[in-house]
Copies of this chain bind each other. A is one copy, B any other.
Amino acid sequence: MAINYPNGKKFSPANSKPKKQVKKDFSFSNRGKTLEDELNESNAYYLERGFAVIHKKPIPLQIVKVDYPSRSSAVIREAYFRTPSTTDYNGVWNGIYIDFEAKETRNKTSFPLKNIHEHQVRHMAQVIRQQGKAFLIIRFSSLDRYFVVPFSLLEDSWNRMIGGGRKSIELAEIEQAGIEVIPGMYPRIDYLPAFEQLYRNEESEER
Contact = CB atoms under 8 A, between A and B. Distances in A.
Interface of A: 47, 50, 52-53, 55, 57-61, 63, 73-81, 85-86, 90-97, 99, 123, 126-127, 129-132
A95 B85 CA distance: 21
Given A52-B130, A58-B59, A96-B97, 5 more contacts: A61-B79, A73-B80, A90-B90, A92-B99, A94-B130
A59 B74 CA distance: 14
A63 B58 CA distance: 11
A73 B82 CA distance: 11
Contacts of A47: 126
A41 B203 CA distance: 35
A58 B85 CA distance: 10
Contacts of A80: 73-76
Nearest to A132: B92
B55 A58 contact: no
A61 B79 CA distance: 11
A95 B92 CA distance: 11
Given A78-B76, A90-B90, A97-B97, A85 B130 contact: no
A95 B60 CA distance: 26
A131 B58 contact: no
A58 B59 CA distance: 7
A55 B85 contact: yes
27 contacts: A52-B130, A53-B123, A53-B126, A53-B130, A55-B85, A57-B58, A58-B61, A61-B76, A61-B79, A74-B80, A75-B79, A76-B78, A76-B80, A76-B81, A90-B90, A90-B91, A91-B97, A91-B130, A92-B97, A93-B130, A94-B130, A94-B131, A95-B97, A95-B130, A95-B132, A97-B97, A97-B132
